[in-house]
């Protein structure tokens, strides 16, 4: 987060650091579907939502 802010302040066009969920778990309809190991759709989407939640929490801390 600090690095992204630094890049943004210096005017870099590539200020966003990309995250991607690797090696998701087989969940729900992923089971038995024959996807590439570690890349089932539902598990990958769950990992993505968890990453987005973490980033959101870090960008908007509670003042407690």
Tens of pLDDT, residue by residue over 39-53, are 677 777 888 888 888
| Residue 38 pLDDT level (bands cut at 50, 70, 90) | low
SS (H, E, C) 7-23: HHHCCCCCCCCCCCCCC
Would you give the DSSP letter of residue 61?
Answer: -
Tens of pLDDT, residue by residue over 3-36, are 888 999 999 988 888 777 676 666 777 777 776 6
How many angstroms separate the CA atoms of 41 and 35, rounded?
8
Q: Is the pLDDT of residue 1 over 70?
A: yes
Tokens, residue 19: 């995250």
């Amino acid at each position: 987060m600090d690095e992204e802010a630094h890049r943004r302040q210096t005017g870099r066009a590539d200020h966003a650091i990309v995250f991607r969920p690797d090696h998701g778990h087989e969940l729900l309809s992923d089971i038995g579907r024959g996807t590439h190991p570690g890349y089932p759709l539902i598990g990958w989407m769950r990992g993505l939502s968890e990453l987005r939640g973490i980033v959101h929490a870090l960008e908007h801390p509670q003042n407690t």
